[in-house]
């Protein structure tokens, strides 16, 4: 038996859609992108969507839209993928790290206020693993200091906070459609969502060379656009997202019922609807368990073995992130995708059990 960590869904509708776009002769800035932006933003409950080339481009675009520059500070969790924080650094700003709530792996609002300074320009929260961050608390602190909040929703498609979908909760939100994500465009792709018309207009220009006309460039922009082919695939994938989210939650429920007491299983706050991008457990001998599962044909992942504040390129200086540092050697993500069968889940649980005993 071989079980992949994640799997991408392809069907005839996707193949036909790709063929139709190829036949259309229109490859950028067309109807597919416009429709995908409308459909995805409506799904998440935001007014505007700006399709871009990756989740990293999406985070970068939010930083560009806010005019983040040298001397500015951007608050981020360290327990995340580097692309949450690297765009701020790329713009010349200083990422300021804040610890996570160990139950949800998301930014701990109780620790937020102490790192805010006069230079803080933005807070990026990450709905890590598909569990939303505690947005009400974060938004209320941010509004007290008049700081913009960006949701890094690259792992939280269709996750909900108090009944609202992630992507609609902050001032802007960045999504990734990388192949392992809860929905994908069969390659790299991303989207920024916002309900602020001014920011939407600005980002729409910034991702397209800051142009107001073909060869008139009012702002210094880049080419961060999403093409028609990925947009067309994203539209088909989006139609499946609700049923896939349900399936992921069922897989998680089954895992938890089989693994509780053997390892630490993920938790879900009563105000949250977890989208289970990954199903992450904790155990003392993580490396031993990982190699046992690997020997038995089960792929696993570690998200993430080196926190951002310890990355050589991020020059974080001294920071005390005890919860972040405590979990990195213990976390392990098990295979998670909507097509995972009961038989496969039972096999994985049996192998975990075998190792723990
Ligand atoms: C939390 C987080 N932020 C940002 C990104 C960057 O997205 P992409 O890989 O599409 O550039 C990812 C995706 O891997 C992610 O998981």
List, for residues 29-68, the tens digit of each pLDDT value.
999 999 999 999 999 999 999 999 999 999 999 999 999 9
Is 104's C-beta closer than 6 angstroms to any atom of ligand 1? no
Residue 303 has pLDDT above 80, yes or no: yes
pLDDT at 235: 98
Q: Does residue 318 carry a pLDDT above 80? A: no
- Looking at residue 265, what DSSP letter applies? P
- pLDDT value at residue 319: 81
User: What's the predicted TM-score (pTM) here?
Assistant: 0.98
- Which one of 130, 176, 181, 224 would you pick to mutate in the ligand 1 pocket, going by the greatest count of ligand atoms within 8 A of its CB? 176
For the CA of 190, the nearest atom of ligand 1: 10
CA of 308 to the centre of ligand 1 (A): 13
**pLDDT reading at 27 higher than 80:** yes
Angle at CA of residue 309, ends 147 and 88, nearest 5°: 40
Element (H, E) at 161: strand 160-161
How many whole angstroms from 55 Cα to the centroid of ligand 1? 5
Distance 190 CA to ligand 1 centre (A): 9
Mean pLDDT along residues 318-346? 95
Residue 188 Cα, ligand 1 centroid: separation in angstroms? 10
Greatest distance between any 2 Cα atoms in the chain = 67
pLDDT over 90 at 1, yes or no: no
Q: What percent of the chain has pLDDT over 70?
A: 99
For the stretch 71-115, pLDDT in tens is: 999 999 999 999 999 999 999 999 999 999 999 999 999 999 999
Counting from 1 in the atom list of ligand 1, the atom nearest the Cα of 178 is 10
Residue nearest to atom 15 of ligand 1 (CA): 154
Pick the closest to residue 277 from 337, 349, 187, 189 (CA basis).
337
Q: What domains does the chain contain, in order, with CATH numbers?
A: 12-235 (3.40.640.10), 241-356 (3.90.1150.10)
Beta bridge partners of 263: 260
C-beta of residue 249 within 8 angstroms of C-beta of residue 261: no
Q: Does 62 contact ligand 1 (Cβ within 6 A)? A: no
For residue 84, give the ligand 1 atom closest to its CA: 3
- For residues 182-199, give the mean pLDDT: 98
Residue 176: name the closest of 199, 153, 194, 151 by CA.
Answer: 153
- What is the atom index within ligand 1 of the atom nearest the CA of 83? 4
Using the 8-state DSSP alphabet, how is residue 226 labeled? P
Q: Flag whether pLDDT at 155 surpasses 80.
A: yes
Reported confidence tier of residue 320, pLDDT bands at 50, 70, 90 = confident
CB of 154 sitting under 6 A from ligand 1? yes
């Amino acid at each position: 038996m071989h079980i992949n960590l994640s799997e991408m869904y392809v069907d005839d509708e996707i193949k036909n859609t790709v063929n139709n776009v190829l036949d259309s002769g229109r490859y950028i800035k067309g109807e597919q992108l416009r429709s995908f932006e409308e459909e995805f933003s409506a799904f998440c409950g935001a007014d505007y969507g700006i399709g871009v080339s990756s989740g990293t481009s999406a985070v970068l675009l939010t930083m560009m839209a806010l005019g983040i520059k040298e001397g500015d500070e951007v608050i981020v969790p360290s327990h995340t993928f580097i692309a949450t924080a690297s765009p701020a650094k790329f713009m010349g700003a200083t990422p300021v790290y804040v610890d996570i709530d160990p139950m949800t792996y998301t930014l701990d609002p109780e620790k937020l206020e102490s790192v805010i300074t006069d230079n803080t320009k933005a807070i990026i929260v990450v709905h890590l693993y598909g569990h939303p961050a505690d947005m009400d608390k974060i938004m209320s602190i941010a509004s007290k200091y008049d700081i913009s909040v960006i949701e890094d929703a690259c792992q939280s498609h269709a996750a909900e906070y108090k009944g609202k979908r992630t992507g609609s909760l902050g001032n802007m939100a960045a999504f990734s459609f990388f192949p392992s994500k809860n929905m994908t465009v069969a390659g790299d792709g991303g989207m920024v969502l916002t309900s602020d018309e001014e920011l939407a207009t600005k980002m729409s220009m910034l991702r397209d060379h800051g142009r107001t006309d073909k060869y008139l460039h009012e702002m210094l922009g880049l080419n961060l656009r999403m093409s028609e082919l990925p947009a067309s695939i994203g539209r088909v994938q989006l139609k499946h997202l609700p049923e896939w989210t349900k399936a992921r939650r069922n897989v998680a429920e089954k895992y938890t019922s089989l693994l509780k007491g053997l390892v630490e299983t993920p938790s879900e706050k009563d105000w949250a609807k977890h989208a289970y991008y990954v199903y992450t457990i904790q155990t003392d001998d993580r490396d031993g368990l990982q190699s046992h599962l690997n020997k038995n044909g089960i792929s696993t992942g570690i998200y993430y073995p080196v926190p951002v504040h310890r990355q050589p390129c991020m020059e974080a200086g001294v920071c005390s992130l005890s919860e972040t540092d405590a979990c990195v050697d213990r976390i392990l993500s098990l295979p998670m995708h909507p097509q995972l069968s009961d038989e496969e889940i039972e096999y994985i649980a049996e192998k975990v059990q075998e190792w723990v005993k």
